[in-house]
Amino acid sequence: MSHVAPEEITEFSFLAGQAAALGVPIPPVERLSLTLADGRTLSALRYGDEPVEVTLLHGAGLNAHTWDTTVLALGRPALAIDLAGHGDSSWRDDADYTGRTLAADVIEALRTWTDRPQVLVGQSLGGLTAAAIAARAPELVRELLVVDITPGVDQSVGPAALREFYRVVDAASRDELVDRAQQFGFGGSRDDTARGVFLNTRVRPDGRVEWKHHFAHIAARLLDAPPAAASIGAPSAILGEHGWADLDAVVAPLSLVRAGHGFVSDDAEQEFRARAPRARVLHLEGSHNLQETAPAALAEIIRTAADSIGPEPVEEPRL
């Protein structure tokens, strides 16, 4: 009697359930890979067949799949990029994951994978990266949405919690990591958290499950290092000391989307308003990872930006 092997779970196996819950169709989706000049690889997900108008950048410790539900709710072609050191993108030997450093990779990717200025959405570390992109390559950015981060964020709350969370970088099972994520309030429902953990971990040869991204290992080392050594590569370096200068240089329409239970304090919001008086500040109910805890509401904000009249597509130079 023959036995049929169970269908293998892949990175796209969860989309059907997510789409059904939203009552929307599943768009075509593919993984892209770009070899960078230094030999590293940058990876991304492209949703839909039409030219991309929305590009999404995740936060520290996440990956492109964190945007799945938001993209399904959005219903538009989109590009979600794995930042260096995350997802399927290569780790950096120098462990430099500041916004300006990450921006250089994304700029190259946008010039390769898109043909028009983007509604650029960046959450947390991705938001500071997005600001650096908009400052350095304004022709690539039609509108900038920064999600629950400012350069003045209270680092004793948000990033410190992330570092404490990543004190544990491996476990006997994915369920253990799901439990830990839920205890720290990261992710949405348990099913959503379990999906995120599956997509953000790998099984080592010894059978233990570990986080795929470099950030977890860096954070764990910082926690165990002496205070003087820990100051090197501490949260301010990870978040980027040039964030305000980058935001000041942004010429595209700019919005801060603040989570009701996120990392941006009232003081940080007021500093953002003072430093970027022409920017909008929008509030959504949810935790720091709004793309997971308030995906439909965030998708509506992105859709409004995408529907606005923007610059004409960038034409390739004729030889």
Cα 142 to Cα 138, 213, 315, distances in angstroms = 8, 30, 15
Check whether 111 has a pLDDT greater than 90: yes
For residue 310, count other CB atoms closer than 10 A to its CB: 18
Q: Is the dihedral of CA 58, 210, 12, 70 positive or negative?
A: negative
Q: Is the pLDDT of residue 159 over 90?
A: no
Q: Looking at per-residue confidence, does 193 or 16 come out higher?
A: 16
Question: Please, are residues 114 and 55 in contact by the beta-carbon 8 Å criterion?
Answer: yes
Mean pLDDT of the chain: 87
Structure tokens at 162: 């992330």
Distances (CA, A) of 156 to 128, 152, 256, 267, 280: 18, 11, 21, 13, 25
> What's the Cα-to-Cα distance from 238 to each of 59, 292, 300, rounded to whole Å?
11, 22, 30
| Cβ neighbours of 183 (radius 10 Å) | 9
DSSP string, 97-148: --HHHHHHHHHHHHHHH-SS-EEEEEETHHHHHHHHHHHH-GGGEEEEEEES
pLDDT attached to residue 228? 40
Condensed to tens digits (0 to 9), the pLDDT of residues 28-42 reads: 999 999 999 999 999
Q: In CATH, what class is 25-307? A: alpha beta
pLDDT band at residue 195 using 50, 70 and 90 as cut-offs: confident
Catalytic residue positions, numbered: 124, 148, 288
Q: ∠ CA(304), CA(305), CA(307), 5° rounding?
A: 65
Sequence-ordered list of residues with C-beta below 8 angstroms from that of 59, at least 6 positions apart, any chain: 66, 123, 124, 125, 126, 127, 149, 288, 289
The answer to whether 281 and 258 are in contact (CB under 8 A) is yes
Measuring CA to CA, which residue among 254, 238, 222, 248 is closest to residue 102? 238
In this prediction, residue 314 carries a pLDDT of 43
Q: Provide the pLDDT for residue 280.
A: 97
What are the structural domain ranges in the chain? 25-307
Q: What is the pLDDT of residue 308?
A: 87
Q: Please state, in angstroms and as integers, the Cα–Cα distance from residue 88 to each residue in 7, 34, 167, following that order.
A: 22, 11, 22
At position 175, the amino acid (one-letter code) is D
pLDDT of residue 232: 37
Taking the model in full, what pTM does it have? 0.86
Q: What are phi and psi of 316, to 5 degrees?
A: -70, 140
Q: Which residue has the tokens 């379990």?
A: 194
Please state, in angstroms and as integers, the Cα–Cα distance from residue 233 to each residue in 37, 132, 222, following that order. 25, 19, 8
Q: How far apart are the first and last CA of the chain?
A: 64
**For helices 125-136 and 99-113, what crossing angle results, to 10°?**
70
Query: What pLDDT is attached to residue 144?
Result: 98
